[in-house]
């Protein structure tokens, strides 16, 4: 079986954009009924010849924001539990928010290895915010732009020893 990578992080940091970039066309929608299962997408990804299964935790769009943290947490925990590696995405333009810190706390107690990824770091503007992630205590953050396809080689280098 392929190793599994889960993309986690608060809404709007670019998880689905990264997922789409990594899977290309081999996308499997697990279930499109309303509810928990619709919240995740799985696909097969290939990165410089390295193949893995990838999980996008997603689908908070239509939900009541009041209930979001609880559902996010459940979904994140379930995905991370079955993953060999978690990619923890944050928005490098905004730096680490309190919700990022909360997710970081769950990830530190989980046994799954984590790669911290500062997304939206295209050009120069986003780079400084990536350094903010050192305070999560989850290792060296990787800077990428999922939308522009930048930093993907650095992501590969961080992922390779963990898969």
Number of Cβ atoms within 10 Å of the Cβ of 120: 24
Helix axes 98-109, 68-81, angle to 10 degrees: 30
Total site size for Mg ion, rule CB under 5 A: 3
| DSSP E strand stretches across the chain | 4-8, 27-29, 40-47, 50-57, 85-91, 114-119, 142-143
Is 27 one of the binding residues for Mg ion (CB under 5 A)? no
Is 17 one of the binding residues for ligand GDP (CB under 6 A)? yes
Nearest to 8 by CA among 92, 106, 94: 106
Question: How many Å apart are CA 64 and CA 80, to the nearest integer?
Answer: 23
Q: What does 120 interact with, of ligand GDP, Mg ion, none (CB < 5 to 8 A by kind)?
A: ligand GDP
User: Nearest distance from residue 61's CB to ligand GDP, in Å?
Assistant: 8
Is 13 one of the binding residues for ligand GDP (CB under 6 A)? yes
Is 68 one of the binding residues for Mg ion (CB under 5 A)? no
Choosing from 20, 44, 50, 58, the residue that interacts with Mg ion (CB under 5 A) is: 58
Is 154 one of the binding residues for ligand GDP (CB under 6 A)? no
What is the pattern of x (binds ligand GDP, CB under 6 A) and - over residues 100-119? -------------------x
User: Nearest distance from residue 1's CB to ligand GDP, in Å?
Assistant: 25
Exposure string of 40-75, with b = 16+ CB inside 10 Å and e = fewer, is: bbbbbbebeeeebbbbbbbbbeeeeeeeeeeebeeb
The stretch near ligand GDP (CB under 6 A) out of 25-33, 45-53, 78-86, 144-152 is 144-152
Is 96 one of the binding residues for ligand GDP (CB under 6 A)? no
Nearest to 55 by CA among 87, 32, 14: 87
Q: Enumerate the known binding-site residues.
A: 9-16, 56-60, 119-122
Q: Give the interface with ligand GDP as residue ranges (CB under 6 A).
A: 9, 11-17, 58, 119-120, 122, 145-148
């Amino acid at each position: 079986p392929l190793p599994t990578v889960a993309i986690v992080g608060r809404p709007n940091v670019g998880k689905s954009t990264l997922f789409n970039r990594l899977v290309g066309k081999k996308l499997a929608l697990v279930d499109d009924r309303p509810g928990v299962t619709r919240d995740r997408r799985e696909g097969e990804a290939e990165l410089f010849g390295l193949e893995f299964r990838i999980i996008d935790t997603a689908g908070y769009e239509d939900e009541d924001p009041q209930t979001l943290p609880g559902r996010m947490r459940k979904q994140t925990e379930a995905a991370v539990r079955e993953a060999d590696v978690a990619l923890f995405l944050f928005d490098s333009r905004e730096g680490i928010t309190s919700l990022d810190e909360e997710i970081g706390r769950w990830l530190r107690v989980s046994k799954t290895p984590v790669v911290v990824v500062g997304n939206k770091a295209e050009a120069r503007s986003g780079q400084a915010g990536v350094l903010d992630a050192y305070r999560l205590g989850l290792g060296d953050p990787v800077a990428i732009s999922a939308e522009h396809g930048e930093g993907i080689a650095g992501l590969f280098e961080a992922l390779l020893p963990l898969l």
